[in-house]
Structure 1
Amino acid sequence: MPRLSSSVLVLRGEEVLLGHRIPALRFFGDYFAFPGGKLEPGDGEGEQGLRACALRELGEEIGLDLGTRDLGRLETLATVTTPPFAPVRYQTVFFLLRLGEGEVPGLSSGEFDELRWMRPRDALRSWTRGEMRIVPPVLLFLRLLAEHGAEGLPEAAGAQEKLLEQGQLHPVYFSPGILLAPLKTPTVPPATTTNTLVVGERLLYLVDPGSGDPEEWARLDERLDFFCRMGARVLGILLTHSHPDHVGGVLHFAKERGLPVLAAEKSLAQLPLEVHGVEQRVLVQGDRIELGEAPDGSEGWRLEVHETPGHHPGHLAFFETRYRSLIAGDLCSTLSTIVIDPHEGHLGTYLESLQRMRELEIETLYPAHGPAHPRGRELLQFFIDHRKEREDKLLSILREGVGELAALLHRTYDDVDPDQLPYALRSLLSGLQKLEEEGRIRKRGEIWEMRA
């Protein structure tokens, strides 16, 4: 169940208050946001409780002590629920507060380290130039405010809420020019969705349309049709790889829209595209996919193709050049570690791919599962370190003389939910294979052991 929370759009004339969340915060650290937070037991229940929550957060975060007598000053805008792609989801009621004379907010807690008063269009321009990160739903309200003004905002926000309730895709942008659409797929737990991305402004590419659900296709088609009405063109489908949860909608979108499919040769070979008359284009290391003019008007915007095998022999990643985003596919996840299946994956090769991508100057990293991460290089280093720690743990257990597979699984992955052990087994086998290839261990019958 999503957690209940409140957020407040604070207005002073034509300016809106944005707070910069300290980078160390786990939830949207280093992003600008509105004041707000989750409902606490002492706030009460229902709408009154959420209003009390909003006023409490205003006092705690920006030093505005309005008191419960001012509950009525908060104008309800809309309720927005986090799409089902995040480990923690929130059902947030957004309120509007117009400051009166003498009401001056200031830094008051450890969540914000900077406050900025900005006109909505100035904030959006700054975001488009890559000068500030803004929480995705805050971006939505800034756009509504810029378009409709303060007087028209409540009505426009209410209309947007109804569209989202009817199934319209959330406008999830962690960086300019990349729409993240988490669509339902039969993927590996804990994930329940795969991120389909729409990359570009006027020249669009669809990345990993993984859902095989016609209802999800309709949601994505609605957004693509909207972009096309605004003058954009969809030029093709890009695939990070050909696992089922990444390609479930490929035939639908390729055939209905007459789009070519661009992927590594080893991925294209696993798809029935030719028999359906779908154009195929092989991508290799160093290829460039031109995107035209970037959202800030700069030229030379493109995607650069990187071969990143290991999870899948035909795995690709795409580096976006203007904002230095990496479309990482299953190179990593913000929900869990990636399964390396020894039947088609290779752990040593996968680690080499992680390290090569770690050397790029990455800002935002878009995984196939889970929210985008604002510090992509840090995330890649985390998974490199995590794999090393897991390998060291496995070697320590092997040195104790434990060599039977079931015992190795339960000892090495004693921190994993029992329901996830079948997936952990695949990673264990890949780890044993790597160590055997390096000449550090060997297998005698059904027992694994250290080499002398």
Structure 2
Amino acid sequence: MNDDPRPIQTASLTLIRSDRGRPEVFWARRRADRSFLGGCFAFFAGGQEPGDRDLPTTLRSQREDDDDAAEQRRDPHTGVTRHDDVLRATALRECFEECGALFDEGGLLPPTSDAAPVTRTLPQPLARPLATHRLRYHFSRRTPSWMPRADTAFFSLRLSDAEARALDDLSAHLDPEEHDEGAWVTPQAALTLWEKGQALATTPIVELLRLLDAAEDAFVPETCHEPHPVDDAIEYLGGVTVLPLRTATLPPATHTNAYLLGRSTFVVVDPGPDDPADLASLSAEIERRIAAGDTPQSVILTHHHRDHIGGARAIASRFNLPILAHPRSAALLPELHTLALTHGQTIALGDFGELEVLHTPGHAPGHLALYHAPSRSIFAGDLVASEGTIIIDPPEGHMGDYLQSLHTLLAMQPRVLFPAHGAPIAAPATLLNAYIDHRLTREAAVLDALRAHPAPASPEDLIATVYPEIPRAIWPLAARSLLAHLIHLREQGLATRHDEGSFVATKTSPH
């Protein structure tokens, strides 16, 4: 959780055109490899920069002293404060940097093909003031508490017919460092893509699309620095809500994602926290759904580790729900009285479709993943993470099983992976192949180190050679994964166990 009392100020700009009387907006998908909201569709947006305060704008005809009174003084005609106007300038600057379209007092300066996107910076000085008077303010939203803290003001700008024609091929001018695709769509079409699981988006983007779909001219006359109450849950796809919660997990992770999957009927996946205060927000989200007419069906556990099951009993008891898990997890959790989920079983969730159960051992013997065919999404538990790799800790962890489980996920050709820790993964094949290559490369290094060692070697004997890049403080965790590799090498006939804690390489390959 970010406790900085001063959130970053950011601004978002939605371009709107009319196509045969229907409003269309331009949205773009953030590159899948971006660390923040990679793979999500959004509008042009970015953080306020110090120079934005000095940009000439059509709403700022003269300079004011930079004090609190000037900051809050409201123009009697527009209702805009200086603070708001700086955010408008931020939005227009970001739009120019991300797609090359510049809106100033004279109208649109369309993007040109002779300038590389990475070189886009506003010319200094500007020939004419930025057209901040054309921006309509809709609302401000603050990021969830588990994200870097930011307040974002959402604006839109309606294009003239001539401007719309000039920007018809706007997707060709997107900054490739920021976006990998973009399109003009009606708000309704964008919402349909999100509802069908074909476009990732965050809560404010969906909220603005709904607002524009209902009334293109919607305008909310409130100040940009009065953000809506923070909502920690994000519905990335229609029927896929994630709520990261603090749990007793392994560093560097601090949260475990609880998922609410489904629409009118939904399941709760991995209610991890055991602290009542942390569990309260999950209970509140479930209660909100019930109040809206939705029905929780069950609690599903991807595996038995504490950071995934801490709140299972409390949630099941409070909402009178059964707890479902793989039989091998159930055997480790007798106190939860779980019902069995097995490989290939399906869970029907009404208009959301079915979840297919995949037994994916390796991190834990009873580990499950859930596949949603309509959106080609996999809820992957601890098979993957958006940052870093996964600990394989014998005897519960098994490297051979883990590699096979990664191949199982890869064969499903998912569009997106939803991990238990971190953000959605919008380039699943890239990550899964990287995970597999990483493990095989590491295993080859283990075998080389074992062959070079003059005597039987324990995991601790090999750490410095195999993991030269990691700090000594996490060697104990690395030793567990190294042991998993040694066991896997033994199973392949490439090593033998010398005694309880050490191994030797075989003299020749078994093949």
Name the TM tier (shorter chain). Answer: 0.7 to 0.9
- In structure 2, what residue type is equivalent to 1:140? E
Q: Please list every run of 5 or more consecutive structure 2 residues that lacks an aligned counterpart in the other structure.
A: 55-70, 72-82, 105-128
> What secondary structure sits across from 1:163 in the alignment?
coil
- In structure 2, what residue type is equivalent to 1:55? L
Corresponding position of 1:169: 232
Pair 1:192-2:254 in alignment: yes
Corresponding position of 2:189: 122
Q: Structure 1 residue 320: deviation in Å?
A: 1.3
> What secondary structure sits across from 2:356 in the alignment?
strand
With over 3 angstroms needed to count, the CA separation of the structure-2 counterparts of 1:315 and 1:108, relative to structure 1, is closer
Corresponding position of 1:141: 208
CA RMSD of aligned residues (A): 3.0
1:3/1:91 contact within 8 Å kept: yes
> What secondary structure sits across from 1:54 in the alignment?
helix
Pair 1:37-2:46 in alignment: yes
Q: Structure 1 residue 120: deviation in Å?
A: 2.0
Q: Please list every run of 5 or more consecutive structure 1 residues that lacks an aligned counterpart in the other structure.
A: 295-300
Q: Structure 1 residue 263: deviation in Å?
A: 0.7
Q: Structure 1 residue 202: deviation in Å?
A: 1.1
Corresponding position of 1:289: 347
Distance 2:219 2:255 in 1: 35
Pair 1:420-2:474 in alignment: yes
Distance 1:256 1:156 in 2: 40
Distance 2:239 2:46 in 1: 28
| Structure 1 residues 327-346: aligned runs within 5 Å | 327-346=379-398
Q: Structure 1 residue 103: deviation in Å?
A: 4.3
How many residue pairs are counted as aligned between the two chains?
Answer: 434
2:37/2:423 contact within 8 Å kept: no
Distance 1:23 1:272 in 2: 41
Corresponding position of 1:245: 307
Distance 1:420 1:52 in 2: 46
TM-score (norm 2): 0.76
Corresponding position of 1:16: 25
Distance 2:53 2:468 in 1: 40
| Structure 1 residues 14-413: aligned runs within 5 Å | 14-21=23-30, 27-40=36-49, 42-43=51-52, 51-66=88-103, 69-71=130-132, 74=135, 75=137, 77-81=139-143, 84=146, 89=148, 91-99=150-158, 101=160, 103-104=163-164, 105=167, 106=170, 107-110=173-176, 111-112=178-179, 114-135=181-202, 137-146=204-213, 150-153=217-220, 161-164=227-230, 168-170=231-233, 172-271=234-333, 273=335, 280-294=338-352, 301-401=353-453, 403=457, 405-413=459-467
- Of the structure 1 ranges 243-252 and 38-47, higher mean CA displacement relative to structure 2 is found in 38-47
Give CA-to-partner distance per residue, 1:162-217, whole Å, 9 cap, x none. Answer: 321xxx433x2333221111111010111110011001111111111011122232
1:208/1:246 contact within 8 Å kept: yes
With over 3 angstroms needed to count, the CA separation of the structure-2 counterparts of 1:154 and 1:379, relative to structure 1, is farther
> What secondary structure sits across from 1:174 in the alignment?
strand
With over 3 angstroms needed to count, the CA separation of the structure-2 counterparts of 1:148 and 1:271, relative to structure 1, is farther
Distance 1:245 1:205 in 2: 18
Q: Structure 1 residue 227: deviation in Å?
A: 1.5
Give CA-to-partner distance per residue, 1:106-129, whole Å, 9 cap, x none. Answer: 325323455433332231013223
TM-score (norm 1): 0.85
Q: Structure 1 residue 377: deviation in Å?
A: 3.5
- In structure 2, what residue type is equivalent to 1:33? A
Distance 1:196 1:112 in 2: 28
Q: Percent sequence identity over matched residues? A: 34
2:302/2:368 contact within 8 Å kept: yes
